[in-house]
A and B are shown apart, each in its own frame.
Chain A
Amino acid sequence: MAVSRETVLRMADLARIALDEDDVDRLVVDLGRVLDYVEMLADVETPDLSAAGRAAAHLRPDSVGESLATEDALSNAPVVRHDHLVVPAFLPEES
C-alpha cells in the first residue's frame, strides 16, 4: 500500500516526533514497502481470537510497600526544582 506524505506527517504528529524533510521522504518510501510486504497477512486463514489461550498475568495485592525514593526517581531529570520536574508551559507557541 502506498503511503502519502500527509499520512506520514499525520502519524509522526500522533507519535509526537518532529520529522526532518529528508526523514519524511525516506519514510514515505520505507513505509510503503513494508506495508506492501505485510499485505500477505490477508491470505492467512485465521482463527477467532476469542479462543486465544494466552496465560493470564498474575496479579499481586494492592498493598503499600517500599518504592523508589524521590531523590532516586528524580536523579536523571533534566530540570528539577523543589522535588518537581520543570517543563515548558503547556500552551502552544502560537497563542
Chain B
Amino acid sequence: MEPYELGYAKAMELMRSGELSSRDLCRSALDRMAEVDSRVGAFLTVREPADVLREADEVDAARSRGDELGPLAGVPVAVKDNIACTGMPTTAGSSSLSNYQSPYDATVVRRLREARAVVTGKTNMDEFAMGSSCENSAFRVTRNPWNLSRVPGGSSGGSAAAVSAGMSTLALGSDTGGSVRQPAGFCGVVGFLPSYGAVSRYGLVAFASSLDQIGPMSRDVAGASALFSSIAGMDPLDATSVAATPVRGLGGSARGPSDLAIGLPVECFGDGVDAAVATRVRAAAGAVGDAGARVVELSLPSIRYAVAAYHVVADAEASTNLARYDGVGYGLRGKGARDLDTMYRRSRREGFGLEVKRRVVLGTFVLSEGYRDRYYALARRVRSAIAAELAAAFEDVDLLVMPTSPTTAFGVGERIDDPLAMYLSDAHTVAANLAGLPAVSLPCGHDDSGMPVGLQLIGRRMADGAVLDGARIFEEVAGCACELPEIG
C-alpha cells in the first residue's frame, strides 16, 4: 500500500510509531498529484516539492529527537484558494484575483503552520465560492475522481477531489450554503461544517459574512476532527468567532449508539430525492438504530424554504462584500478608462464571471429601495423561523440525519445553464448555514452508477464535538467509510 492510500488515522499511527516518515507521506501525495491531477484538475497551485519535503524532513527530525508534536505534524494539507496563504497566489477562483499574492496568512493557515502541518498547495473552486459544481472557476473545471465526466461538487470541489483521489491526506474548504459538505458527499469523503463562529474567518475571502465558515475535509472522521481541533477557537481578528465544544478525543468516542437519538426529516427523503440515495441513507440510520440508537421520523416543514431564504440573504451579503473588487488597490484593473467610475465598471465586468454577476445583481436588487422589505427583510425573518424550527427539533433528538444532497454527482455541463437546478443541489445543506449549526457529510455507499452517496448529520449549535462523535459512530457501525476510487 502506498502512503497516499492511508487515511489520516492510520498515517498518524504509523508516523508516531516511526514506521512512516512525514517525508514519505508527503512524497507520496506529491507523486499522486503528478500521476492523476492532469485528469482531475484539483490544484491551482502546487508548492515546490523541495519546500514541501524540507518541511516534512524538519518534522521527521523533531519526531526522532522526541519533541512533542501535535496531531497535524507532518501531515499534508491542501488549502482552498479563497484562504489567504503567503508565498502562494490566493485567487478565489476568479480572474479578478488571478495575480493576487496575499501579504498575510489567514488565521487558520497560521494555526496550520504552528501545528507543523505541511501545506502542499491551493485548490480549485467555484469563483468567490459561488457554485455547486466547480464549473464556475475562471481557470479550470475540476473532475470527480469517481467518474471524470461528473462534477466534484462545489464550491470546494478542488479540496474534495484532492482528498478523494489521495492527493492530500487533509484539506480545508469553505462552506456558506454547503460548499464543504456537498462536494464531500459527491466525492465520497468526510466534510465538516463547524458551527458559525467556531473557526476564524480572518483571511477567508468573504462571500456571505453571516454564513461563511472554513471546514475540514478528510477520508476519515479522525482527520476531520484533528484538523477542526487545530484550527478552531476564538480569534481577536474575527469578532464573530466563539468557542465551540471541543472534540473529545481521537481515540474513540466516549458515547456509543445507545446514547444517541437521531431524527430523519421526512421532507429530506421524498420528492426530488433519488431513490438510491434515500435508501442508502435510511439503511445507515437503521444500522445505527440496530446498534442501540433511538431513531425517529420527524417533520421540518420550513426546510423547503431554505434555498430561497439562503439565496436572498447570501446574495445580498455578497453584493456588499464584492464591492471591494474595484481595481484600485489590488486585483484586476480594467484597461483604458479615463475616469474612476468607468474603471470600476470595466474592472468588474472583466474580473467577474457570469454566476458572480448574477448573484451580485440579484443581491443588489433585493436590497434596493422598494424591494428591500419584500425580499431581504422577509428572507431574514424566514431565516429566523428555520433556525427556530431546527432548535425545536433538537429538544427531541441529538442529530438530524438526511442525504447531503438530493442526488449523486451530476454530469459536467448538465446544470450550468440552469441556475435554479444548480441551486437545488444545496437543498439539504443551506439550512445548517442559515441556523449556524454544525453539520458533517460522510460517505454512505454508492448508487447504481457507482457514484458516492453522501449522508449528512446536523447537530445543535456549538455542539461540534457531539456531531463529530456522532459521525464516528456512523463510520464504525453503519458502513460510512471512505474508499479510494480508480481514476479513469
Give the interface of A toward B (CB within 8 A): 3, 7-8, 11-12, 14-20, 23, 26-27, 30-31, 33-35, 37-38, 40-49, 51-52, 54-55, 57-60, 68, 72-79, 85, 87-93
Contacts and interface: CB of A to CB of B under 8 A. Distances in A.
A29 to B, nearest CB: 10
Contacts of B358: 27, 30-31
Interface stretch (B57-65, B122-130, B349-357): B349-357
| Chain B contact residues: helix, strand, loop or mixed | helix
B345 interface: yes
Interface stretch (B167-175, B270-278, B332-340): B332-340
Contacts of A41: 305, 308-309, 312, 375, 378-379, 382
Contact of B420 (A34, A42, A57): A34
Interface in B232-250: 234, 236, 239-242
Contacts of A35: 362, 365, 375
Given A18-B349, A46-B381, A85-B328, A38 B311 contact: yes
A60 B339 contact: no
Contacts of A45: 385
Give 5 nearest A-B pairs by CB, closest first: A46-B381, A72-B103, A76-B330, A18-B345, A57-B239
Nearest to A45: B385
Contacts of B354: 23, 26
A10 B401 CA distance: 44
B311 A16 contact: no
A49 B388 CA distance: 12
A16 B115 CA distance: 42
B364 A14 contact: yes
A45 to B, nearest CB: 7
A75 B236 CA distance: 25
Given A41-B378, A44-B305, 12 more contacts: A17-B361, A37-B307, A37-B420, A44-B385, A72-B104, A73-B103, A75-B103, A76-B331, A85-B329, A88-B340, A93-B339, A93-B342
Contacts of B45: none
A11 B341 contact: no
B357 A17 contact: yes
B360 interface: yes
A38 B375 contact: yes
B131 interface: no
A40 B302 CA distance: 11
B81 interface: no
28 contacts: A11-B364, A15-B348, A16-B326, A17-B349, A18-B349, A19-B357, A34-B311, A37-B307, A37-B308, A38-B379, A41-B382, A43-B305, A44-B382, A45-B385, A46-B385, A47-B388, A49-B381, A55-B197, A58-B234, A60-B236, A76-B329, A77-B328, A87-B328, A87-B343, A88-B339, A88-B342, A92-B339, A92-B342
